[in-house]
Amino acid sequence: MITLILNSIICIYIGLFSFNCFRLRLKGWLFLSGIFWLILAILGNILLPGLSGLFKPTNIYLIPFYIFLASIFWRKKISFLAPTSYLSTLATSNKFQYAAQAIWLILIFFLGKWMPFQASIIFYLIEMILWQPLFWIGSQWLLMYLLYLNHKEIKRKLSSQEILLLTLLWQFFYVYLKLQGFV
């Protein structure tokens, strides 16, 4: 049942991304995301035979990562989109999520010798991307909604630092709950 829910969320995510790419004539972003998916799936199958394949959960759950990689190359075209469009908020939320992830990993790397559960924390941070699409995509959609509201309705605009801190906080609570055994 959980696998069906996770696969449904991934299909909705891919469908919304594809629909908006076709609607806004950014088919190159969609095509490049697919190329990254194929390349990394083939490399994963070579390096981890049996564990990684084209349609294995390890690669399917990384769809937001492939879209993020492709958005780096399409940054110039994305900047011309309205800040409230789905693809614009998708690219921005991806940027904040992966920036928060990198900040956590850098902090753990430098402060790791004083942290009691360093290996578990690193594992849970990586697990968040690889095997928890429900949390990752759900938090991304919440962040996208916040970015939409930030441009449309909020009187005082949130700064990038505030949004990044919120994302860091979400990821911290996920790891904390995993360490406590609640998730």
Q: For residue 124, what are the contacts with CB-CB under 8 A and spacing of at least 6?
A: 174, 175, 178, 179
Contact yes or no for 134/7 (Cβ under 8 A):
no
Of 8, 1, 126, 122, the closest CA to residue 60 belongs to: 8
- 86-124 pLDDT tens trace: 999 999 999 999 999 999 888 888 877 776 777 777 888
User: For residue 31, what are the domain limits?
Assistant: 2-180
Q: Which amino acid is at 94?
A: N
What does the pLDDT read at residue 60?
Answer: 87
Contact yes or no for 29/70 (Cβ under 8 A):
yes
**In the Cβ-directed half-sphere of 14, how many Cα atoms lie within 13 Å?**
16
Mean pLDDT of the chain: 87
What is the percent of the chain with per-residue pLDDT over 70, rounded to a whole number? Answer: 97
What does the pLDDT read at residue 144?
Answer: 93
Number of domains in the chain: 1
- 158-181 pLDDT tens trace: 888 999 999 999 999 988 888 888
